[in-house]
A and B are shown apart, each in its own frame.
Chain A
Amino acid sequence: MISQLSWKIGGQQGEGVESTDRIFSTALNRLGYYLYGYRHFSSRIKGGHTNNKIRISTNPIRAISDDLDILVAFDQESIDLNAKELRLGGVVVADAKFNPTIPDGIEARLFAVPITAMAEELGTSLMKNMVASGASWALLGLPLEVFNKAVEEEFGRKGAAIVEKNIEAVKRGAEFVLELAGGPLDEFKLDEADGKQKLFMIGNEAIGLGSIAAGCRLMAAYPITPASEIMEYLIKKLPKFGGTVVQTEDEIAAVTMAIGANYAGVRTMTASAGPGLSLMMEAIGLAGMTETPLVIVNTQRGGPSTGLPTKQEQSDLNAMVYGTHGEIPKIVIAPASIEDCFYDTIESFNLSEQYQVPVILMTDLQLSLGKQSCEPLDYGKIEIKRGKLVSDVPALEGHDLFKRYELTEDGISPRVLPGEKGGLHHVTGVEHDEVGRPSENALNRQSMMDKRLNKLNDMYIRDAIRVDAPHETPDLLTIGMGSTGGTIDEARRLLDEEGVTTNHVTIRQIHPFPTSLLMPYLQKAKKVIVIENNATAQLASQIKMNAGFAEKIKSLLKYDGNPFLPSDVHKACKELSLDGNIQRV
């Protein structure tokens, strides 16, 4: 019996790779396994190799694995490209249609199943996904009833006949492969899962869900990979809560519409990736200057320019931290798990109103799109905090205006919404006085700049850094952000077995930088390695600039479009612990 296993399906984009993965993993989720998915795709709709990999485990996992146990291939290209990942004794289930072969030098068992032929026999080649997933399921020796139930739910809406056909396809795929293999494969027999169904979702869905919980009722956005799922999720849900999603003409419209709506009192967000973030820069300054709450989700992908639109990267850090001209207060939060995506979204909306600042919630492609198991989300933790939003304020006298930008101790001024009788005031991106009227007075300028820029002094989000520090003075301190945490954990487990002691910090509050929280861990570590998916060590630069320790901070960088593998991190940490030098991946 084994506790975990990796499965991958490959084929041409648009031929059912996605749906095979979906149905297979939904059924596994039913049984209570922990799952972690990775989608390899290109920015084409039809054609082009694509593959989905899932890791299945009886314990929580948050990383893809280096190797592979089962590869399902719809074409020879999928075998040629992916067979090298197969571990010794791995299995390939391939469509008999193309006379599959295993490349030289790779030892794997091949089961050629007439996937397309069986599907066509049942009426349509669309059912390839059912034959393939049925065969996979059977090899693992898992109960077929559970799988059939998932099929029923997927196709129930389309009527009993369709359900039956699909179940038949599953059965045929299963029977055929069992015949070839002589029954389920013992070496792939998974320990029983805990039977507790987890949530199984992508980061973008968790963000969408979190925003509804946070009271967000409007979203303005322009489609882009890998952010679009957020708007697609919300357009299905928001109408039930009285709200809607507007697909705008561009990201400038999206962000300024969000600013207008937030000004008028509705929590509104926009979401994009690098190219859209670049277009939003001027408006981010407007939100900062006018102290208008704003939540922007930036799902990072490979840059610069159009870059690698469907690939993993974490290279917008500088743009988010420094972006917009002039100087404004801004919060940048990096969720590091699906659960974080949910709770951090709620916190982003709260902070944006409490501090009256723009908040950027940054994910990366792997966190946004990788489908993962997620612990139950707690309704009890949902809180809506609107800061100094006031209503029913006293009537104004004469030409008085409401002091929307009143100079206060903490720099945060009372805020009223348009419509409020005693709340009339002016808002402008021009430097202004306490009632919002343009002013070039030097003294006023200085007080207003200080007021705005000091608002975030000592502001820490929940778990601004997340620490796992079992050692007083570790050989190594690993530091990461976003989706890389699980991978780093796995590498650390290996290092631990080899006697290299490590502590780990995930930076979740990217800006303002949580220097004082991080300081003690930097001090105690012999060496520090900052692991990030970019070429110029942007996170490491933040650490060095804010906390120092430049001499002991090294970087592990990967910017080939792929997420780190545990082996990448393990190797680099090992080298660093031995001689202090590491290679870029």
Chain B
Amino acid sequence: MATFKEFRNNVKPNWCPGCGDFSIQAAIQRAAANVGLEPEQLAVISGIGCSGRISGYINAYGFHGIHGRVLPIAQGVKLANRELTVIASGGDGDGFAIGMGHTVHAIRRNLNVTYIVMDNQIYGLTKGQTSPRSAEGFKTKSTPEGSIESTLSPLEIAMSAGATFVAQSFSSDLKQLTSLIEQGIKHEGFSLINVFSPCVTFNKINTYDWFKENIVSLEQFPEYDPSNRVLAMNKIMETNGMLTGLIYQNTTRKSYEDLVTGFKHEGLAKQDMMITPEEFDKLVAEFR
């Protein structure tokens, strides 16, 4: 059985030293090993941004796509071969700005894909512009007088879009993050895991220390029930979205793959492509 080391390759990430993304990479590698995967059974699909480079740093099948389109690509992979474990990953700009339309619809569609957002509240790769996750008043190169748009709450959006798995974590908390990714992989349906991942170069406000001071772990509330949708929504609002842990999980709704008529358990990619003469005649007969 593969250990987390088998999910490492010899590529040195080009992230800045101290970037939160390193720990997310480590957590994915650990979670993949912990759930018993082999590298070839995992496909990591990533977006464009500093974060998007992650698919190149994990020893598995990796697909680095185009900005904002990580989710449709990942869903295509899953539809084609549901035997693969598919992790989609990208930045907050990738998923909540340019790709927001796909995020909401991937949630609604509920394919068995685990989506890890590396949320640094800024655009890292393009060197420090505002993101939908930036706080109001946040000064960046594109908002020199401070952002005047309201901050987007991905957790609330996910809940209202009918998400079946919503979690949030902090890249420094490797233990919690690894565990949430494992749960996300095991969840039969779409799992959203938003991860606070400090950008040490361009975001001087939302730093490691800032997060440590501001986040509220659900572990503090042993009575918290993640199957209760109303409770989850309340908790998100109460904490202004700063909570971490498994916020909501619906285990009763079936995944998309299980709801599609005629979809088999064997990956479609492995099934026969050629139709029989009888099947062909039947199709053609409709046009007589």
Question: Taking beta carbons and an 8 Å cutoff, which residues of A are in contact with B?
Answer: 29, 197-201, 205, 209, 212-215, 217-218, 220, 237-244, 246, 248-250, 252-254, 256-268, 282-283, 286, 290, 374, 376-377, 379, 382, 384, 399, 401, 417-421, 423-430, 436-438
B212 at the interface (CB under 8 A from A): no
Interface-centre pick from B73, B109, B262, B270 (highest chain A CB count, 10 A): B73
B288 beta carbon closer than 8 Å to chain A = yes
Given contacts A240-B262, A264-B81, contact A215 B273 (CB under 8 A): yes
In whole angstroms, how far apart are the Cα atoms of A425 and B72 in the complex?
Answer: 21
- Number of B interface residues at 8 Å Cβ cutoff, please give it: 60
Expressed in whole angstroms, the Cα–Cα distance for A437 and B10 within the complex equals 11
How many residue-residue contacts, CB under 8 A, span A and B? 199
Instruction: Please classify the interface of chain A as helix (H, G, I), strand (E, B), loop, or mixed, using the class held by over half of its residues.
Output: mixed
Shortest Cβ distance from residue A450 to the other chain B in the assembled complex, whole angstroms? 22
Select A426's contact among B38, B64, B102, B264, beta carbons within 8 Å.
Answer: B64
CB distance from B216 to the nearest CB of A (A): 33
Give the CA-CA distance A498 to B55 in the complex, in Å.
68
Do B268 and A263 have beta carbons less than 8 Å apart?
Answer: no
Across the interface, A248 reaches (CB within 8 A) one of B11, B72, B263, namely: B72
Residues in A whose Cβ lies below 8 Å from that of B261: 239, 244
| B39 proximal to A (CB < 8 A) | yes
B9 interface residue (CB < 8 Å to A)? yes
- Distance, CA A468 to CA B137, complexed state (A): 71
Which of A256, A259, A427 is B64 in contact with, Cβ under 8 Å? A427
Min Cβ gap B149→A in Å is 23
Q: Name A289's closest neighbour in chain B (CB-CB).
A: B66
Residues of A within 8 A of B280 (CB): 213, 379, 382
Which residues from B are CB-within-8-Å of A262?
Answer: 76, 80
Bound state CA distance, A136 and B260, in angstroms? 44
- Interface pairs (26), CB distance under 8 Å: A29-B288, A200-B287, A212-B275, A213-B280, A217-B268, A217-B271, A218-B76, A239-B262, A253-B102, A253-B105, A256-B72, A257-B72, A257-B73, A259-B76, A260-B72, A260-B78, A264-B43, A264-B81, A265-B81, A265-B270, A283-B69, A286-B66, A382-B275, A417-B269, A425-B61, A427-B62
Which residue of chain A lies nearest to B276 when distances are taken between CB atoms in the complex?
A379
What B residues does A382 contact at CB under 8 A?
274-275, 280
Which B residues are closer than 8 A to A by beta carbons? Answer: 9-11, 38-41, 43, 45, 53, 55-56, 59-66, 69, 71-81, 83-84, 101-102, 104-105, 109, 260-264, 267-271, 273-275, 277, 279-281, 283-284, 287-288
Contacts of A428 in B (CB 8 A): 55-56, 62-64
Once the chains bind, are A248 and B105 in contact (CB under 8 Å)?
yes
Structural contact, A250 and B101, CB atoms closer than 8 A: yes
**A418-B81, A421-B38 provided; 12 other pairs, C-beta below 8 A?**
A215-B274, A257-B75, A260-B63, A260-B76, A262-B76, A262-B80, A263-B73, A263-B76, A267-B273, A286-B65, A401-B9, A426-B55
Determine the distance from Cα of A212 to Cα of B280 in the docked complex, in whole angstroms.
9
Q: Is the CB of A437 within 8 A of B77?
A: no
Distance between Cα atoms of A282 and B69 in the complex (Å): 10
A-B complex: 7 closest residue pairs judged by Cβ atoms: A260-B76, A215-B273, A239-B262, A265-B269, A264-B80, A428-B64, A261-B76
